[in-house]
Amino acid sequence: MLLAWAPQGHEVIVKLIHHVAGSLGEEVKIMDFCGTHEHTIVSSGIRSLMPENVELVAGPGCPVCITPAFYVDAAIKLAMDGVRVYTYGDVYNLPGSEPPGSKKPRTLADAKAQGADVVIVYGLIEAIKHFRENPKESVFLAVGFETTAPSTASAVVNGRLPREFTIINVHRLTPPIMRYTFEAHRDAPIKGVIAPGHVSTIVGAMAWEFVPKEYGIPTVVAGFEPIDVLKAILSILIMVREGKARLVNEYTRAVTWEGNKRAQKLIAECCEVVDAMWRGLGLVPESGLAFRDKYKVYDALREYGIREPTPEEWKYDLPPGCRCAEVTLGLAKPTDCPLFMKRCTPGTPYGPCMVSSEGACAVWARFGGGGLADDVAKSLGLTPS
């Protein structure tokens, strides 16, 4: 089977991880920056296989979680005003700034329940197809990192967007948030990075060269099978042991050094890099994409006269008590939040990290994060010795 992993292989790697970690005599905090990696780690019980001094921490790998409430509110408002709103399934239940229990719609799902025209699509292509069959003034709420931005850019640059179809562009970039996260962990530094595999297919492994160079942190671009993640952890530990931070591309079956140049070109043609807001965090320098002047006609916010807040006007946009910002930065675990699996569950998400299948809280809720993950690991025969 393609991408299969060898049962004997992972046992050897887990043993090696324990041996190398045992020889280090220090705590090693390794951060993953991709919701899919966190998914692999939790669903395969990899965290429970780690030696005591190796901590795996989930970083900002969920674009839905960090989409500012302002843009959700804007989409809800347009939907309630009669504009059709298309978006991804994960965004459908994402709360805006309306408090829970409010009569006003808090999510696009609420707006739809109140009669608005909201359509869930798998991608922009599907939205355009649906629009052509059912033309009506429409907006697409486009969130996502470098992996999703090419789909927006391709539609805009290749002239695929019909008239009366505009986009709320909330695309965000991952290298700047990685820098921001390192700063947030200054007191207990991150010692290793599992770089996001899918983002790397677009930006290339080279995008992470700054991590070992500027921050001295061993970095591995990894795939998403359990064995990929285990190999990445082992490589990081070996680099820590040798005291040599390097960039390793483990995911060579999909990631090249330069990345997907075509996609990069499309993004650069369509958008410019701007300072941008992140939910719960505020302004992150040069971390967002905005349409270039020649494509501003596709900008839904401009079309409908909705002005984005300036950094000074930005208001903290997580619901009271939600610790999503700390969870996103890896400063807290989902289980550290008193609302986790009490007031906030996948069925009734209170905060944004419980909504997307990639949100750390949702992943931990689904797979247990702690106890259940151990059981899963045992049932897979993944027991450390």
Partner 1 sequence: MCLGVPGKVVEVRSDGVARVEFSDGVVVEVDASTIEGIEPGDTVIVHAGIVIAKVDEEEASRITSGLEELIQDLESKAEDFESMLRRLGAIKG
What is the C-alpha separation between 24 and 178, in angstroms, rounded? 25
Residue 361 partner contact from partner 1, ligand SF4, none using kind-dependent CB cut-offs of 5 to 8 Å: ligand SF4
Of 50 and 327, the one with the shorter C-beta distance to ligand SF4 is 327
Of 151 and 166, the one with the shorter C-beta distance to partner 1 is 151
Q: Considering Cα of 29, then 33, then 35, then 36, what sign does the dihedral take?
A: negative
Residue among 338, 316, 309, 295 nearest 142 (CA): 295
Contact 128, 160 (CB under 8 A): yes
Contact 377, 57 (CB under 8 A): no
Residue 1 per-residue DSSP state: -
Determine, following the binding rule CB under 6 A, whether residue 351 of this chain makes contact with ligand SF4: yes
Residue among 67, 71, 147, 65 nearest 327 (CA): 65
Determine, following the binding rule CB under 8 A, whether residue 260 of this chain makes contact with partner 1: yes
Of 114 and 348, the one with the shorter C-beta distance to ligand SF4 is 348
Of 218 and 351, the one with the shorter C-beta distance to ligand SF4 is 351
Per CB under 8 A, which of residues 263..322 are in contact with partner 1?
263, 266
Determine, following the binding rule CB under 8 A, whether residue 354 of this chain makes contact with partner 1: no
| Angle ∠(208,194,205) on CA atoms, nearest 5 | 30
- Which of 54, 62, 245, 339 is in the footprint of partner 1 by CB under 8 A? 62
Q: From the centroid of its chain, how far is CA 381? A: 30
Determine, following the binding rule CB under 6 A, whether residue 324 of this chain makes contact with ligand SF4: yes
Residue 322 partner contact from partner 1, ligand SF4, none using kind-dependent CB cut-offs of 5 to 8 Å: ligand SF4
Contact 345, 365 (CB under 8 A): yes
Residue among 172, 149, 171, 194 nearest 39 (CA): 194
Which tokens in the block code for residue 172? 């965000």
Q: CB 184 → partner 1: shortest distance, Å? A: 22
Of 35 and 368, the one with the shorter C-beta distance to partner 1 is 35
| Angle ∠(368,369,370) on CA atoms, nearest 5 | 90
Chain residues binding partner 1 by CB under 8 A are: 2-6, 9, 12-13, 15-16, 19, 35-36, 39, 62-64, 88-91, 121-126, 129, 143-145, 147-148, 150-151, 154-155, 158, 197-198, 201-202, 223-225, 227-228, 231, 234-235, 238, 242, 250, 252-255, 260, 262-263, 266, 356-358
Residues found near ligand SF4 in the complex (CB under 6 A)? 322-324, 327, 334, 337, 339-340, 344, 350-351, 353-354, 361
